[in-house]
């Protein structure tokens, strides 16, 4: 369930960023072309993090990497709240993109590994269903909570959700115990 929740929040954060970063730019008088560059940099950073994912998992471990990247994206979105010069927004959005890019494949690998043999397809279907529900519910809740605060308020709610997802990710275990009486084993770091 933790991996499903983290996956939902990360995917919703990607969508919220795509919608509310332009809204933030409009509120702050940032040119549409500059916002387009920021969104492009976020996307490139997400792709780059996925290209390096195998090496990063080998270097620091899957759970530690997931916690770190989700926390990184939460910090990145949180840093967008005060008005920043464009160069600082470039750095913050790029860092956030690095974090957001790793969340989906890492949660998918946790689910695939923790599902019992023969039930992996069902686990992946549940993940897709959860992600779609999260894409509807999470942005709606963030928008309702931050209705009077504008785009920065929605990004603040999203950053808080990502911080909560990072905490949830810290509790992920590598695999379920083979025997119900046996305690769960943690992933070696």
| pLDDT (tens digit per residue) in 31-43 | 999 999 999 999 9
Query: What is the Cα–Cα distance from 44 to 33, expressed in whole angstroms?
Result: 16
Output the pLDDT for position 96: 93
Percent of the chain at pLDDT above 90? Answer: 44
Residue 158, number of CB atoms within 10 A of its CB = 27
pLDDT beyond 70 at 48: yes
Tens of pLDDT, residue by residue over 139-148, are 888 778 777 7
- Which of the four pLDDT bands, split at 50, 70 and 90, describes residue 187? very low
Q: Can you list the domains of the chain with their CATH numbers?
A: 2-170 (1.20.1250.20)
Per-residue pLDDT, averaged over 170-180, amounts to 57
Tokens matching residue 1: 């369930």
> Measured at the alpha carbon of residue 77, what is the angle toward residues 74 and 82, in degrees to the nearest 5?
130
pLDDT beyond 70 at 177: no
Tens of pLDDT, residue by residue over 80-129, are 999 999 999 999 999 999 999 998 888 888 777 877 888 888 888 888 88
56 HSE (CA, 13 A, CB side): 21
> Measured at the alpha carbon of residue 67, what is the angle toward residues 87 and 124, in degrees to the nearest 5?
110
pLDDT beyond 50 at 176: no
Could you tell me which residues are beta bridge partners of residue 175? 185
What is the pTM (predicted TM-score) of this model? Answer: 0.82
Higher pLDDT, 188 or 125: 125
CA distances from 99 to 29, 141, 170, 185 (A): 27, 22, 15, 26
Output the pLDDT for position 159: 92
Q: Are the C-beta atoms of 77 and 160 separated by less than 8 Å?
A: no
Output the CA torsion sign for 112, 118, 121, 122. Answer: negative
């Amino acid at each position: 369930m933790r991996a499903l929740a983290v996956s939902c929040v990360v995917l919703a954060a990607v969508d919220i960023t795509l919608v509310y970063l332009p809204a933030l730019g409009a509120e702050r008088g940032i040119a549409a072309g500059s916002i387009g560059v920021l969104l492009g940099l976020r996307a490139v950073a997400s792709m780059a993090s996925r290209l390096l994912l195998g090496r990063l998992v080998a270097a620091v471990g899957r759970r530690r990497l997931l916690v770190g990247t989700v926390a990184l994206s939460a910090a990145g979105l949180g840093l967008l709240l005060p008005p920043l010069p464009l160069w600082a927004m470039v750095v913050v959005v790029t860092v956030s993109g690095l974090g957001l890019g790793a969340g989906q494949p890492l949660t998918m690998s946790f689910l695939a590994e923790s599902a019992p043999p023969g039930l992996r397809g069902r686990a992946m279907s549940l993940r897709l269903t959860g992600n779609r529900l999260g894409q509807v519910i999470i942005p709606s809740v963030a928008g309702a909570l931050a209705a009077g605060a504008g785009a920065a308020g929605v990004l603040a709610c999203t950053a808080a959700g990502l911080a909560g997802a990072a905490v949830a990710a810290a509790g992920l275990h590598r695999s379920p115990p083979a025997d119900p009486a046996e305690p769960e084993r943690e992933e070696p770091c």
